[in-house]
Amino acid sequence: MGVQHRTSQSLATRPPQMDPKIWSHLPDHLLDQVLSFLPLKTFFNLRSTCKHFKSLIFSPSFISKHSSSSPLSSYILFSHPQFHHLYPLFDTTLNTWRKTSLSPSSPMLTCSPSSKAVLLSVSHGFLCFSLPNSSSFLVYNILSRSSRTLNFPTFPFAFELLTLVSSPNGSFKLFMICSSSSGPSSNTFVYDSVINLWSQFDSVDSALGDNHQEAVSCDGILYFTTPEPFSILCFDLENGKWERPAIEMPGELTFARLVSDGIEKMFLVGGIGEDGISRGMKVWELSGDGGNWVEIGSVPGMICRKFMSVCYHNYEHVYCFWHQGLICVCCYNWPEILYYKVSRRTWHWLPKCPSLTDKWSCGFRWFSLVPELCASV
């Protein structure tokens, strides 16, 4: 009787099981709502169980719920030849370096220790690598751990100014310029993930800076600065047209770099001086009518002297990018970032990565990494 009593008691306290027939016929929006309460890490582990679960991560309600609680931090990603497919992350929310580095798990990146994959561009949750050994690019999603390989559009393919641009709907475009062997002009190539095709557009005759500074994306338009005499060129990703907007540049510039928040604001970071030597560095914001630049900040003297000394007045090594309200100013041969906090109009140095050895060489690349659930490949 005691055994029967304990058995009856355990059955009484056991939670009722859901009828599989009911569970299998739950409407998608209810299943989506139930799964959205799972921790993100747990849910990502469930993606491999069935295609339907994997697709739910891109549903509007799932994205809305997790975006509203902001569980995904934003990072500044560090890339250097000393780290083989490891990318240290600086958490700008906690203002510290993470103890673990990002390590993409695509077989195309990890199949061989001698792989020469190079990280070239980052847009939200997408990372774009060049794979010279296979004459292709690889676009990798850090959240879904999925990837897409894109063969070069032509052979040989000497490209520059590669820029990855993601869209709110989860698609992406890959922009680059390929030097023409028949003359000084360059051909423009754009890959569209929606149609899975490369398109070639009209060439551009003007020089467009150097390889360290990517194009600046703002509302579907890519912006570039030209060498002296400094001016701005823009490329429309939708119609493939090049234009030269009537925006007058500030005087006495020794170098010019554009930065954008990606939505509506455009900034200019430039050196000020004579005979190609910078004596100062300033930040301007493009006015609302888009006609002129308004100065909003100037680098303090001591900070400016340090930055100019580390780049040796070799300004082609200087590049800039936007990250969550910060204008980041970097040098290809220096392991620190100088950044400008726009809201407070103050300048700061990002601390050197603790994983970097004392003996380091040039090749420092920094990227803004703001993962988004809607990103997919």
pLDDT (tens digit per residue) in 191-202:
999 999 999 998
pLDDT of 358: 79
Look at residue 68 in the predicted model and tell me its pLDDT. Answer: 42
- What is the pLDDT of the chain when averaged over all its residues? 83
Q: Which residue has the tokens 């400094």?
A: 230
| 163-174 pLDDT tens trace | 999 987 789 999
Q: Token pair of 67, please?
A: 């975006």
* Residue 61 burial (CB count, 10 A): 13
Quote the pLDDT of residue 40: 61
Q: Is 354 left (phi over 0), alpha (psi -120 to 50) or beta?
A: alpha
Reduced 3-state DSSP string for the chain: CHHHHHHHHHHHHCCCCCCHHHHHCCCHHHHHHHHCCCCHHHHHHHHHHCHHHHHHCCCHHHHHHHHHHCCCCCEEEEECCCCCCCECEEECCCCEECCCCECCCCHHHHCCCCCCCEEEEEECCEEEEEEHHHCEEEEEECCCCEEEEEECCCCCCCEEEEEEEECCCCCEEEEEEEECCCCCCEEEEEEECCCCEEEEEEEECCCCCCCCCCCEEECCEEEEECCCCCCEEEEECCCCCEECCCCCCCCCEEEEEEEECCCCCEEEEEEEEECCEEEEEEEEEECCCCCCEEEEEECCHHHHHHHHHHCCCCHHHEEEEEECCEEEEEECCCCCEEEEECCCCEEEEECCCCCCCCCCCCCCEEEEECCCCCCCC
Q: Which 3 state secondary structure label does DSSP give 283?
A: strand
pLDDT, one tens digit per residue, over 230-278 is 999 999 999 999 999 989 999 899 999 999 998 889 999 999 998 889 9
Rounded to whole angstroms, the Cα distance separating 135 from 270 reads 36
CA angle (48 as vertex; 43, 52 as ends), nearest 5: 80
Among all chains, which residue has been given the structure tokens 């703001």?
370
User: H helices of 57-213, where?
Assistant: 60-69, 107-110
Is residue 352's pLDDT more than 60? yes
Sign of the four-CA dihedral 166, 90, 69, 140 = positive
Instruction: Report the largest interatomic distance among the alpha carbons of the chain, rounded to a whole angstrom.
Output: 101
Q: What is the pLDDT of residues 341-350, one digit of tens each?
A: 999 999 999 9
- b/e map of 314-347 (b: 16 or more CB within 10 Å)? ebebbbbbbbeebbbbbbbebbbbbbbebeeeeb
Please report the pLDDT score of residue 71 as a whole number. Answer: 45
What is the model's pLDDT at position 2?
47
Identify the pLDDT of residue 3: 47
Question: Rounded to the nearest 5 degrees, what angle is found at the Cα of 126, between the Cα atoms of 121 and 129?
Answer: 45
Residues 202, 241 contacting (CB under 8 angstroms): yes
Which pLDDT value is given to residue 83?
84
- What domains does the chain contain, in order, with CATH numbers? 18-68 (no CATH), 72-369 (2.120.10.80)
Q: What are the phi and psi torsion angles at 247 (to 5°)?
A: -120, 115
At 65-120, the pLDDT tens digits run 554 444 457 899 999 988 878 899 999 888 899 988 888 877 667 665 446 789 99
pLDDT (mean) for 359-371: 89
pLDDT at 4 over 60: no
Count CB atoms within 10 A of the CB of residue 126: 27
What is this structure's pTM? Answer: 0.80
Which of 43-47, 97-101, 308-312 shows the lowest per-residue confidence on average (mean pLDDT)? 43-47
Tell me if residue 117 falls in helix, strand or coil.
coil
| pLDDT per residue as tens digits for the range 5-39 | 444 444 455 556 666 666 667 776 677 667 766 66
Spatial contact of 214 and 321, defined as CB atoms under 8 Å apart: yes
Query: Which comes out higher in pLDDT, residue 233 or 181?
Result: 233
Q: What is residue 336's predicted lDDT score, i.e. its pLDDT? A: 93
Nearest to 64 by CA among 25, 29, 93: 29
Verify cis geometry, omega within 30 degrees of 0, for the bond prior to 107.
no
